[in-house]
Amino acid sequence: GAVVSQHPSWVICKSGTSVKIECRSLDFQATTMFWYRQFPKQSLMLMATSNEGSKATYEQGVEKDKFLINHASLTLSTLTVTSAHPEDSSFYICSAREPGDAYEQYFGPGTRLTVT
């Protein structure tokens, strides 16, 4: 099946710094990618939808100036957490959809972010 990777798998950063998370579709082109956030023992919450070559669409309550999303190519989307704070510590997961497939998404393994 289609494979989505994320890098890094875990990262620790200091409060006030920025950190970038990459999401790559390894064997298919993804016109649409999604970014989710998962809190411990809770569901995945959609943060934004990323379409190649256009601005991301953010969900209500998600600060777009804090969580910068770039989808510069058909195989790569990045999420940059700017001026990170301890409350941004979470598990971030991306998924990707193939063109023409209205149903299935392929998920990355996630990135654990810890802000100290």
Nearer to other proteins, 14 or 41 (CB): 41
Among 13, 22, 32, 76, binds other proteins (CB under 8 A): 32
Q: Which of 95, 100, 99 is nearest to 47 (CA)?
A: 95
Q: Are 96 and 32 in contact (CB under 8 A)?
A: yes
Among 23, 81, 84, 93, binds other proteins (CB under 8 A): 93
Start-to-end CA span in the chain (Å) = 37
Is 76 a residue that touches other proteins (CB under 8 A)? Answer: no
Q: How many H helices and E strands in the chain?
A: 0, 11
Q: At closest approach, how far in Å is the CB of 107 from other proteins?
A: 4
Q: At closest approach, how far in Å is the CB of 2 from other proteins?
A: 10
Q: Are 2 and 103 in contact (CB under 8 A)?
A: no
Is 44 a residue that touches other proteins (CB under 8 A)? Answer: yes
Is 107 a residue that touches other proteins (CB under 8 A)? Answer: yes
